[in-house]
A and B are shown apart, each in its own frame.
Chain A
């Protein structure tokens, strides 16, 4: 098993790190610096949903594609320029990072972070709700499946994990992707997850509530889950969480969600999958280029991921983080300084055991005749290829037919 903290030392010594920072053209084969990891014994999956349709074209910037600049006179991120820190951070000579994603560059250079571009759903819908539904159910075009892809994964994977925290949704409403027969915890704050009242009677009150919720209706099952979670969390609730290795989570909902999740994992609560949301990406107007609305969101996103990675680095061989959004945004900027709903987008994959430092997928280009529909980036990789590869190779679940029904032509990209 690689120890990530020692990697940089190894890479530095061999001079490879310096090499990796030069601009390499996209066609040059990437050398895999990590052995292809088989699934670990206790894999943990963290799924981050960027809600609203994040603008992938300004996240992983195709600065080598001249049509990008033709489509976006106001919103384009400038080509990489060492003197200008508002310009794209070059990754491989063709693609670059949005400058506000600077905290992720180090993870990229360490090969812990990969990106997939022009990835998404085959369904053409531009409706947020439908697109999210399809992605979270894992069945584009189909709404009959009442379970989510992660819910089905948990269901079919043989496991002795009986922890109430096996599946955690950060927030007040359980994410659709987690829905399934394995009960899920909706959690906002560890410190608050207990009954508050007269100390003398609280134990008996809790006991009575437990007996009131002992039926077999669905509401009873949720009640029992709640009480089980309360008991488990009681063990760590009084400890003030100090992130490891000096990690600092950004304030705000996203950062705090990740910090809560980190605390649960560090306390060995048995977390196996977690869903985290970050919203606000529906930038129809005043999107901003290197800064502004989207820039601020990206900064929060990057700082959150970097903090989590730093905090959890001793466990990263078990953890895989994947980000997605329901669709990307149109190549052409609109008249309000923003972008409308699009199609192809970016996914990030972060963790131990992935072949990072590369932009995966086939770039269709932004030439007019290569755009999809009303002018969107085309999709050349199905999102299920990415999630399927993670599910099989990192989570050790080969039963992809159950996780992604009606999808058989998986085309793994070698991200894991």
Chain B
């Protein structure tokens, strides 16, 4: 690979994404995974109780529609009929075996993102080093106080000073974020992509922290994607040795004598047993000691020299490891275990009953209900323990359950799901803002089109306004998963605006051509046709009447009134539910 800027096809305008990412200032929000209850606990009686009720029209929803909204990012045209024909159970089984589904179109699309398949040395060589050279033509590294991508060559534990945002090009980040969105919209392996999304948040890594900018791509492929429907133990072990994770949670600075607790704490609190897992501060400190020396390879010479081949890979440093005996959650680790200290802690945590409970509860919350039904959580946890943490088996228990089948209206779409489901519902295709590139469009079988009107809504800006750009959640706990976190004024207004933009051709990266209204189509007919296409269920009479009245009075030229009608459907409360 040449050292120059990688020229590559992109249908997503790089500058728009870059500005979205640069401007996405990190913020912390509280863990909002507690759902809104029917009544607030308050000593003062409320005048107007706010109740979280399931809307009445959900009672009549077809199970296929539910399945496509929960196990997929929403139905595309024809999906509901297809799933009805094969039957829900068969559909669930098919999605639980993603390897049996081919994904040629998506593979074609993703070929424009070379970083996705690169190993760590290639990632560093192509996405970090070229930029560092160009940053200072003299070849001296002025970016980090420590003097290199991995800090001072003589002190591999010192990972360099704080990165200055403007100094690192975000090419790798842009590719991964765009690829993630494309996969969610276009992959046939929809459940797999939802599992990837789940584990990405569960083992969250803030991609803009230092070298995570290039190393998260490796983590996404070799940790998350590799084990998303596999064994939890394998996933956990891979995550613990993932260079991006070790950097994000500061374990690269966890050394004998001065343990660094960040990873140890989150390993237990977030990744495995959960905050009520029964561990003490002493356990946290001992787990930290168990993981001393779990680090990342740094180059022996200047990073700009030839010896960075191993840089960025996991490396256990025995001399930094605290080899003394330790006790963790009642398990004794005798002295002298070296790397087995940490590995045994992981093995123990992976099969801990509290881990089974914690993971199952999160999965049930994600796929079934903001208030996870305890009986289902218990059954899923039971499956977890019986199958030694087989994620596929746990998902099977959850998805085949009665609770799942009757959970209409219990989940609200998060921003990414809202965007993806809108694009899928309208069968949107990627535009080609760079008109010189043809193959991308060809891969999807659609014609290249010349855009006459300049679109003005880059999707990155919408995602940022909605607060869910992939990999940009700065805390280790991942994006929140309860409706309470996402249903607010800012979010709703942004969704309404996105709906209007998508249907009027103003989204930069996607084209949603709406079939023109048939000759002489009445407002009634149009509303029936499109509410069926978008919502796949009957609208409440009152809402249908309002939409008919709207269409009747819309004087837009061309297909304008269909566009506005579809926008209203996407903006409606009905489309916000999963």
Question: Which A residues form the contact surface with B (CB < 8 A)?
Answer: 49, 51-52, 124, 126-130, 132-133, 136, 143-147, 152, 155-156, 169, 171-176, 179-181, 184-188, 192-198, 200-201, 204-205, 208-209, 211-213, 215-223, 225-226, 229-230, 252-253, 277, 279-280, 284-286, 292-293, 334-336, 340-341, 373-374, 401-402, 405
Contacts and interface: CB of A to CB of B under 8 A. Distances in A.
Contacts of B162: 286, 292-293
Contact of A253 (B25, B253, B257): B25
B489 A222 contact: yes
Most chain B CB atoms below 10 A, which of A128, A173, A226:
A173
Contact of B32 (A124, A173, A196, A341): A173
A141 B482 CA distance: 22
Nearest to A280: B26
A218 B32 contact: no
6 contacts: A143-B34, A181-B42, A181-B50, A198-B564, A213-B573, A223-B492
A173 B29 contact: yes
B30 A129 contact: yes
B477 A336 contact: no
Contact of A152 (B28, B42, B255, B285): B42
Given A195-B497, A217-B51, A208 B269 contact: no
A209 B543 CA distance: 10
Contacts of B250: 284-285, 336
Interface in B539-567: 543, 546-547, 549-550, 553-556, 560, 564, 567
Contacts of A374: 281, 285
Contacts of B496: 195, 209
Contacts of A186: 488-491
Contact of B27 (A130, A209, A279): A279
B490 A187 contact: yes
A188 B465 contact: yes
A205 B48 contact: no
Given A208-B547, A217-B573, A285-B250, 15 more contacts: A129-B30, A132-B28, A146-B40, A155-B44, A175-B30, A186-B491, A209-B568, A211-B543, A217-B51, A219-B576, A226-B493, A334-B258, A335-B255, A336-B260, A341-B261
B504 A198 contact: yes
B55 interface: yes
Contacts of B101: none
A378 B550 CA distance: 63
A363 to B, nearest CB: 25
Nearest to A230: B493
B554 A173 contact: no
Contacts of B28: 49, 51-52, 128, 132, 277, 279
Contact of B550 (A49, A128, A132, A204): A204
A245 to B, nearest CB: 27
A405 B547 contact: no
A205 B500 contact: yes
B81 interface: no
A193 B576 contact: no
A196 B491 CA distance: 15
8 closest Cβ pairs, A-B complex: A51-B28, A172-B467, A253-B25, A186-B488, A335-B258, A186-B490, A176-B30, A336-B253
Contacts of A217: 51-53, 55, 573
B261 A340 contact: yes
A334 B568 contact: no
B36 interface: yes
B492 A212 contact: no
Contacts of B261: 126, 340-341
Contacts of B412: 219
B365 to A, nearest CB: 16
B525 interface: no
A37 B314 CA distance: 61
Given A198-B564, A209-B571, A373-B281, A405 B489 contact: no
Contacts of A156: 44
Contacts of B564: 197-198, 201, 205
Given A152-B42, A188-B465, A226-B493, A253 B546 contact: no
Nearest to B54: A217
Tell me the dominant secondary structure on chain B's binding face.
loop
Contacts of B285: 374
A205 B543 contact: no
Most chain B CB atoms below 10 A, which of A184, A193, A205, A292:
A205
B50 A221 contact: yes
B36 A218 contact: yes
A1 B564 CA distance: 54
Given A147-B41, A223-B573, A218 B51 contact: yes
A197 B492 contact: no
Contacts of A51: 27-28
Contacts of B42: 147, 152, 155, 181, 402
B74 interface: no
B501 interface: yes
Given A146-B41, A147-B40, A197 B504 contact: yes
B546 A208 contact: yes
Nearest to B561: A201
Contact of B573 (A155, A201, A215, A334): A215
Contacts of A144: 41
Nearest to A373: B281
B43 interface: yes
A51 B159 CA distance: 24
A51 B31 CA distance: 12
B500 A197 contact: yes
Contact of A208 (B48, B465, B568): B568
A222 B488 contact: yes
B480 interface: yes
B37 interface: yes
Contacts of B51: 216-218
A284 B261 CA distance: 10
Contacts of A220: 573
B145 interface: yes
Contacts of A127: 265, 269, 275
A171 B27 contact: yes
Contacts of A169: 488
Contact of A198 (B275, B547, B560, B571): B560
Most chain B CB atoms below 10 A, which of A216, A230, A286, A401:
A286
Given A204-B553, A219-B576, A402 B44 contact: yes
B46 interface: yes
B489 A226 contact: yes
Contacts of A201: 554-556, 560, 564
Contacts of B497: 195-197
Contacts of B122: none
A156 B29 CA distance: 25
A221 B488 CA distance: 10
B85 interface: no
Nearest to A211: B546
Nearest to B26: A279
Contacts of A253: 25, 27
B262 interface: yes
B474 interface: yes
A208 B52 contact: no
B479 to A, nearest CB: 10
A211 B539 CA distance: 14
Interface string B35-66: 01100111110101111110100000000000
A171 B560 CA distance: 33
A52 B489 CA distance: 26
Contacts of A284: 250, 253, 260, 262
Contacts of B466: 172
B572 interface: yes
B485 interface: yes
B161 interface: yes
Contacts of B255: 335
B435 interface: no
Contacts of A197: 497, 500-501, 504, 564, 567
